[in-house]
């Protein structure tokens, strides 16, 4: 069926392809899974076709869908247009993830990483504000992308944004926040990390947190004097 859609894209003009895409979205002759299948096949065929540039913009603007293989070309064609859409995607990553359901998770993450890099290179302060925005309500699937970038940037304005995460009730977020904050190698920050962790009730009383508490304790994190053991091992998802 893939080849059928590739041939269809070759034969129809852009207006006809948009109409066909709308038909697939609205028809009652297909169930939701069938609609998803056929629309993914159409979108994938368009992303591989040289005549599809305006259709690629159409899918990105109207349906929030774009692929890594087309992203750089779209930036080259119209960086202002691409930057606007990129900012929108980075501020609604959960929706971006859902809307791009036809791609592998790794492709979705790699594209999000490219979007963040493009934003920081194009308008660094806007990129930093986008990272702060996402840390205020961290998207689980993309947290590693943001924490890695903060470690890379070493911009101290992120410190006050990360500290409240230490008192949360989600171990994964607490781990990431500790790793990021310790990366600044700042004694004053280390003391704030220790104070914040001591206020985390889950860390002190929950049996499910014992292993993490012991890791912090052995590593000197709770004393504000992290040693080599305190450089925590955390699983960065993408």
Flag whether 40 is in a domain.
yes
Q: How many domains, in total, are found in the chain?
A: 1
Q: How far apart are CA 184 and CA 156, in angstroms?
A: 8
Flag whether 140 is in a domain.
no
pTM of the shown model: 0.87
Q: Which pLDDT score is estimated for 84?
A: 97
For the segment 151-204, what is each residue's pLDDT rounded down to a tens digit? 999 999 999 999 999 999 888 899 899 999 999 999 999 999 999 998 998 888
CA angle, 104 then 71 then 145, to 5°: 55
Q: CA nearest 7: which of 54, 34, 46? A: 46
Eight-class DSSP state of 156: G
CB contact set of 142 (below 8 Å; sequence gap of 6+):
93, 97, 109, 112, 134, 238
For the segment 214-236, what is each residue's pLDDT rounded down to a tens digit? 888 888 898 998 886 545 555 55
Exposed / middle / buried, residue 162 (Cβ in 10 Å: 0-12, 13-18, 19+): buried
Flag whether 187 is in a domain.
no
Flag whether 9 is in a domain.
yes
Q: How far apart are CA 168 and CA 159, in angstroms?
A: 16
Flag whether 36 is in a domain.
yes
Domain of residue 59: give its range: 1-63
Q: How far apart are CA 103 and CA 59, in angstroms?
A: 14
For the segment 2-31, what is each residue's pLDDT rounded down to a tens digit? 899 999 998 998 899 989 999 999 999 999
Flag whether 2 is in a domain.
yes
Flag whether 16 is in a domain.
yes
Q: How far apart are CA 193 and CA 160, in angstroms?
A: 11
| Contact between 200 and 167 (Cβ < 8 Å) | yes
Flag whether 165 is in a domain.
no
């Amino acid at each position: 069926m893939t080849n059928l859609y590739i041939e269809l894209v070759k034969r129809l003009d852009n207006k006809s392809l948009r109409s066909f895409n709308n038909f697939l979205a609205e028809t009652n002759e297909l169930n939701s899974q069938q609609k998803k299948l056929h629309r993914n096949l159409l979108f994938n065929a368009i992303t591989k076709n040289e005549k599809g540039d305006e259709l690629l913009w159409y899918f990105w603007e109207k349906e929030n869908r774009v692929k890594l293989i087309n992203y750089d070309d779209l930036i080259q064609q119209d960086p202002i247009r691409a930057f606007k859409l990129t900012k929108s995607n980075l501020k609604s990553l959960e929706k971006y993830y859902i809307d791009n359901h036809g791609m592998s998770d790794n492709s979705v993450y790699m594209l999000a990483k490219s979007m963040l890099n493009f934003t920081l290179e194009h308008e660094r302060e806007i990129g930093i504000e986008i990272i702060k925005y996402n840390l205020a309500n961290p998207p689980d699937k993309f947290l590693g992308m943001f924490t890695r970038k903060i470690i890379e940037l070493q911009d101290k304005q992120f410190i006050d944004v990360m500290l409240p995460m230490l008192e949360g009730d989600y171990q994964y977020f607490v781990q990431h926040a500790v790793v990021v904050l310790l990366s600044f190698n700042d004694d004053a920050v280390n003391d704030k990390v220790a104070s914040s962790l001591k206020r985390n009730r889950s860390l002190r009383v929950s049996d499910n947190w014992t292993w993490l508490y012991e890791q912090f304790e052995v590593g000197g994190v709770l004393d504000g004097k992290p040693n080599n053991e305190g450089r925590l091992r955390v699983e960065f998802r993408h």
